[in-house]
Amino acid sequence: MWPGLPEADVAARARDWSTRLGYVAAGLGVTSIPALAAAAVPAGVVTVQVAQPVPRPRRLTLAWAHEPGPAVAAVREALTRTAELLAEPWTADR
């Protein structure tokens, strides 16, 4: 849910964008989308830009099958650096 809104009665959930936007186009729901997806909304769907969006927390797990080599270490380090950057206070210019 969006911060500041009351708890909603959720009747259905969809993971993929086409289903989410299909519900919206049919008048059966609302969804949030990234700004890059705004140009792809179906006809009749209205988008509203949020003035100060708040990023949602995400969890990412890195898994590998054998002893981690240099590639795994590099990916883990890059993900850690990115997560630290994303954990910094969010501002509209970032």
Average pLDDT score over residue span 50-70: 76
pLDDT at 81 over 80: yes
Tokens standing for 87? 């954990």
pLDDT score recorded for residue 33: 83
Q: What is the pTM of this model?
A: 0.49
Tens-place pLDDT, residues 7-56: 777 788 888 888 888 889 998 888 888 888 888 888 889 898 877 666 66
Q: How confident is the model at residue 5 (pLDDT cuts 50, 70, 90)?
A: low
